[in-house]
Amino acid sequence: MTMATPSGPPGTALVSLRDRVATEVRRVVVGQDEVVDLLLAAAVVGGHVLLEGVPGVAKTLLARAWSAALGLDFRRVQFTPDMLPSDLSGTVTLRFDAMPVEGARGRQDLAFRPGPVFTNVLLADEINRTPPKTQAALLEAMQEAQVSVDGVSHPLPRPFLVVATQNPIEYEGTYPLPEAQLDRFLLKVDVGYPTVADEEAILRLPHRGVTPIALEEVQVAATAADLAAAQAEVDATTVADEVGAYVVAVVRRTRELPSVALGASPRAAVHLLAAARAAARLRGRAFVTPDDVAGMAAPVLRHRLVLRPEAELERYRPDDAIAAALASVPVPR
Ligand SMILES: Nc1ncnc2c1ncn2[C@@H]1O[C@H](COP(=O)(O)OP(=O)(O)OP(=O)(O)O)[C@@H](O)[C@H]1O
Ligand SMILES: [Mg+2]
């Protein structure tokens, strides 16, 4: 007798989850399969994602469809220069349902009105358009999985995943995230233009006027238990000592490159290994290979490297530095 699980044979919870979620997302979004995988990788290791891409490449649509397929609650917040931390976390207000007795006003008359951060998937659009104080409120929520308002802590729902989008840094009137904050994001995903064939296929999707309507047809393809099973599976993915040493060597190499002013941190190494575990499972394997590490190096490390000004002038990119680091570290066999 075999143990039947809703996610298929043992050891394939993440693959099965990905296939079901990707099928649903494809009803609405053409291409961008890699982004679906990377969002899942982040969700199963409890990391957060920065999405970068020009307007109109379906960043919002994708995040929305992906959340719906996973049955997760989704909120989108447009970050603006005048936004306050309380616009995100919520406010304490006077309760109006009971008339307070004269002089008897106490804590019970105060009600917490949760802000939009109380969700599973928070799309933080244009995070660098808001001043540091509000950015810090979001970062705190990401780090602690709770928010404090008026000295009272409120736990956030689980899972809690921030998908933040960023403007190009040169853009006027932006507040670029400091390196210390960027380091807290597990992945930075570049969302590019579609291929010609994909762009033609986008036009064939059902629209009502300019509005894509297939979003309403996205079915919930996973339960919280499926996600938990995939998480447990990823945590149980084994890592040989040589592969762990490879992760460390790649990360340390980024600190020695002549083009790099600030290399990747030990936190980056932890993030890289976690992402590589998810990558291994997405490829149907129960152990991490150097290839899984190399494949995740760019999305995990690119936002954490600060290049020297002269390298930037020569249009050298963080991805080039990561490629150089990978090329110069011997791959364990
Ligand atoms: N790959 C795609 N598949 C399906 N529709 C797409 C795709 N790319 C773009 N579109 C169309 O473009 C519209 C804009 O997408 P969306 O609002 O998600 O872009 P965005 O990347 O979030 O842009 P912005 O940066 O301005 O917020 C979608 O509603 C859809 O009609
Ligand atoms: Mg958008």
Q: Which of these ranges, 150-154, 246-250, 260-264, 265-269, has the smallest mean pLDDT?
A: 150-154
Residue pLDDT, tens place only, 300-314: 999 999 999 999 888
Q: Are 76 and 184 in the same domain?
A: yes
Do both 226 and 293 map to the same domain? no
Asked if pLDDT for residue 5 goes beyond 50, the answer is no
* 61 touches ligand 1 (CB under 6 Å): yes
CA of 96 to the centre of ligand 2 (A): 37
For ligand 1, mutation pick of 61, 66, 163 (most atoms within 8 Å of CB): 61
Q: What is the pTM of this model?
A: 0.91
Clarify whether residues 150 and 216 are in a common domain: yes
Is any ligand 1 atom within 6 A of the Cβ of residue 58? Answer: yes
Each residue of 13-22: pLDDT tens digit?
999 999 999 9
Q: Which whole number is the average pLDDT over 36-50?
A: 96
Question: For 240, which DSSP code?
Answer: -
Q: Does residue 284 form part of some domain?
A: yes
* β-pair partners for 189: 51
Is residue 61, in this structure, part of any structural domain at all?
yes
Q: Which atom of ligand 1 is least distant from the CA of 28? A: 4
| Beta carbon of 56 within 6 Å of any ligand 1 atom | yes
Task: Give residues with Cβ within 8 angstroms of 333, minimum separation 6.
Answer: none
295 and 266, same structural domain? yes
Strands (E), 17-173: 49-52, 74-78, 90-94, 110-114, 121-125, 146-149, 152-155, 161-165
Location of structure tokens 């762990």: 244
Q: How far apart are CA 303 and CA 296, in angstroms?
A: 13
Question: What pLDDT is stored for residue 151 in this prediction?
Answer: 86
Counting residues of the chain whose pLDDT is more than 90, the rounded percentage is: 73
pLDDT class of 4 with cuts at 50, 70, 90: very low
Whether 282 has a pLDDT exceeding 50, the answer reads yes
pLDDT band at 109, cuts 50/70/90?
confident
Average pLDDT for 157-182:
83
User: What's the domain count of the chain?
Assistant: 2
Q: Among 212, 235, 258, identify where a domain stops.
A: 235
Say whether both 151 and 296 belong to one domain.
Answer: no
Q: What is the pLDDT of residues 54-80, one digit of tens each?
A: 889 999 999 999 999 999 999 999 999
Question: Does 100 score more than 90 pLDDT?
Answer: no
> What values do phi and psi take at 50, rounded to 5?
-100, 130
Q: Name the closest ligand to CA 215.
A: 1
Helix (H) or strand (E) holding 152, with range, is strand 152-155
192 Cβ closer than 6 Å to some ligand 1 atom? no
Give yes or no for residue 1 having a pLDDT over 90.
Answer: no
Query: How far does residue 212's CA lie from ligand 1's centre (Å)?
Result: 9
Burial class (CB in 10 A: 0-12, 13-18, 19+), 8: middle
Amino acid identity of residue 175, one-letter, is: Y
**Residue 59 CA to ligand 1 centre (angstroms):** 6
User: What distance in angstroms lies between residue 126's CA and the mean position of ligand 2's atoms?
Assistant: 9
User: Mind listing the pLDDT tens digit for each residue in 203-243?
Assistant: 999 999 998 888 888 999 999 999 999 999 999 999 999 99
User: How many C-beta atoms lie closer than 10 Å to residue 113's C-beta?
Assistant: 11
Asked whether residue 51 is assigned to any structural domain, the reply reads yes
CATH number at residue 12: 3.40.50.300
**Domain presence at residue 106:** no
Strand partners, 90: 114
237 backbone φψ class: left, alpha, beta (φ>0; ψ -120 to 50): beta
Round to whole Å and give the CA distance between 11 and 286. 7
230, 281 Cβ separation under 8 angstroms: yes
Residues 247 and 198 in one domain: no
Cα separation, 131 vs 83, in Å, equals 8
User: Which ligand number lies closest to the CA of residue 76?
Assistant: 2
Higher pLDDT, 98 or 189: 189
Q: The domain that contains 320 carries what CATH number?
A: 1.10.8.80
Substitution site in 60, 167, 210 for ligand 1 pocket (most atoms within 8 Å of beta carbon) = 60
Residues 193 and 303 in one domain: no
Whole-number pLDDT of residue 2: 39
147 alpha carbon, distance to own chain's centre: 19
290, 201 in Cβ contact below 8 A? no
Q: Which residue has a Cα nearest atom 15 of ligand 1?
A: 58
**Domain assignment present for 313:** yes
| Predicted local confidence at residue 216, as pLDDT | 87
- In sequence order, the β-bridge partners of residue 75 are 122
Tell which atom from ligand 1 comes closest to the C-alpha of 62: 18
Q: Which helix (H) or strand (E) holds 112?
A: strand 110-114
pLDDT bracket for residue 108 (50, 70, 90): low
In a domain, 325, yes or no: yes
- For ligand 1, mutation pick of 25, 27, 57 (most atoms within 8 Å of CB): 57
Give me the phi and psi of 270, to 5 degrees please. -60, -45
Give 168 Cα–ligand 2 centroid separation in angstroms.
14
Residue 168: band (very low, low, confident or very high) from pLDDT cuts 50, 70, 90: low
Q: Is 112 part of a structural domain of the chain?
A: no
Quick check: 46 and 235 in contact, CB under 8 A? no
- Domain final residue, candidates 235, 270, 299: 235
Q: Cα of 53 to ligand 2 centre, how many Å? A: 10
**Is the CB of 51 inside a 6 Å radius of any atom of ligand 1?**
no
Considering only CA atoms, which residue is closest to atom 4 of ligand 1? 29
Q: Which residues pair with 307 in a beta bridge?
A: 260
Name the pLDDT band for 171 (thresholds 50, 70, 90): low
Segment 278-284 shows an average pLDDT of 97
Domain membership flag for residue 100: no
Q: Whose CA is nearest to atom 6 of ligand 1?
A: 58
Do 157 and 294 reside in the same domain of the chain? Answer: no
Domain boundary among 204, 235, 266: 235
Do 252 and 201 reside in the same domain of the chain? no
126 close to 143: Cβ distance less than 8 angstroms: no
Does residue 170 have a pLDDT over 80? Answer: no
Q: Do residue 24 and residue 79 come from a single domain?
A: yes
Distance, in Å, from the CA atom of 203 to the CA atom of 261, rounded to the nearest integer, reads 44
Q: Whose CA is nearest to atom 26 of ligand 1?
A: 55
Does residue 52 contact residue 192 with C-beta atoms inside 8 Å?
A: no
Both 243 and 214 in one domain: the answer is no
Do residues 174 and 257 both lie within one domain? no
Cα–Cα separations (whole angstroms), residue 198 to 26, 189, 191, 203: 11, 19, 14, 9
- Separation of CA 125 and ligand 2 centre (Å): 7
The structure tokens 């961008």 sit at: 32
User: Which residue segment(s) compose the domain that 173 sits in?
Assistant: 1-86+118-235
Is residue 102's pLDDT more than 60?
A: no
